């Protein structure tokens, strides 16, 4: 039962987020992108502070150790972000050099202007697959603690992967892939979430005493993504009406997590 729930939850989060991203990037929902960022931030913060962290702190684990794990997790995800930015910059540097060698400085400038500072498509897909694998482990940890938590974590992962996958789709499109090919490639990377879920199921089952720490690491991931990635994109000078809409969508993300939690608890 739990294993099946993990598989369904990871596939829904991994592939579902890609399809939502495609609708926002290529489809009828494109004008709602900023609202989705607000809602994703609210969903992530609500999942971390209202569900995963309380569940971890209700265990017998030391509060001091759990807070240390939370701090270490935040620093780890910060360093991971820095490494990814460095890698992307390194890839871009070599792509510009290649363009310069083959076409001259004018072509290199045109290449930079057209494609912007993006990594190679394989680097994007590899990084995305690793990220999705980690998400799968986190979702499995939540399901092993409680089915309701697993549903909420799956929703939160889906929400926070949407903007990430939107970037991936744009990079692949800039690399001359068609919309359909880009969607298939990113969907396959998203499906790796299920592999992470299977490993998480095997790992957490054998390390049951460490489950609270897995939940705290998941929380640190969600908090970091919300505060370091999503919310800074929303910090713009807006009109009163736009600001109110932003706050409303942030609240909608929190309410959505609360609603899903109640729904899962009933069932």
pLDDT in tens, 196-231: 999 989 888 888 888 889 889 888 888 888 888 778
Is residue 12 very low, low, confident or very high in pLDDT (cuts 50, 70, 90)?
Answer: very high
Single pTM value for the model: 0.66
Return the pLDDT at 29.
63
Q: Which residue has the tokens 């609202």?
A: 35
Distance in angstroms (rounded) separating the CA atoms of residues 221 and 131: 11
- Between 15 and 82, the more confident residue is 15
Model confidence pLDDT, tens digit, residues 241-262:
888 988 998 898 888 888 877 7
Domains of the chain, by residue range, sit at 2-27+38-266
Judge whether 217 and 55 are in contact, CB under 8 Å. Answer: no
* Distances in whole angstroms, Cα of residue 142 to Cα of each of 62, 117, 214: 19, 36, 8
> What's the distance, CA 151 to chain centroid?
16
Position 42 pLDDT exceeds 80: yes
- Reference 150, options 1, 6, 3, 4; nearest CA is 6
Whether the Cβ atoms of residue 74 and residue 225 lie closer than 8 Å to each other: no
């Amino acid at each position: 039962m739990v294993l099946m729930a993990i598989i369904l939850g990871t596939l829904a989060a991994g592939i579902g987020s890609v399809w939502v991203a495609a609708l926002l990037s290529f489809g009828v929902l494109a004008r709602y992108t900023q609202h989705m960022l607000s809602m994703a931030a609210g969903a992530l913060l609500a999942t971390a502070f209202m569900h995963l962290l309380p569940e971890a702190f209700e265990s017998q684990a030391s509060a001091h150790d759990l807070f240390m794990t939370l701090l270490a997790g935040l620093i780890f995800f910060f360093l991971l972000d820095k490494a990814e930015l460095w890698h992307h910059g390194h890839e871009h540097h070599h792509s510009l050099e290649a363009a310069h060698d083959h076409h001259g400085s004018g072509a290199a400038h045109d290449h930079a202007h057209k494609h912007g500072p993006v990594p190679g498509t394989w680097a994007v897909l590899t990084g995305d697959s690793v990220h999705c694998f980690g998400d799968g482990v986190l979702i499995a940890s939540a399901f092993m603690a409680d089915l309701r938590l697993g549903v909420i974590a799956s929703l939160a992962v889906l929400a926070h992967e949407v903007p990430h996958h939107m970037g991936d789709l744009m990079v692949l499109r800039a690399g001359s892939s068609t919309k359909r090919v880009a969607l298939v490639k990113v969907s396959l990377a998203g499906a790796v979430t299920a592999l992470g879920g299977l490993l998480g199921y095997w790992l957490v089952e054998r390390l049951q005493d460490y489950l609270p720490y897995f939940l705290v690491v998941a929380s640190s991931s969600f908090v970091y993504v919300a505060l370091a990635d999503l919310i800074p994109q929303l910090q713009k000078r807006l009109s009163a009406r736009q600001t109110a809409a932003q706050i409303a969508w942030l609240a909608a993300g929190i309410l959505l997590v609360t609603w899903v939690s109640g729904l899962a608890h009933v069932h």
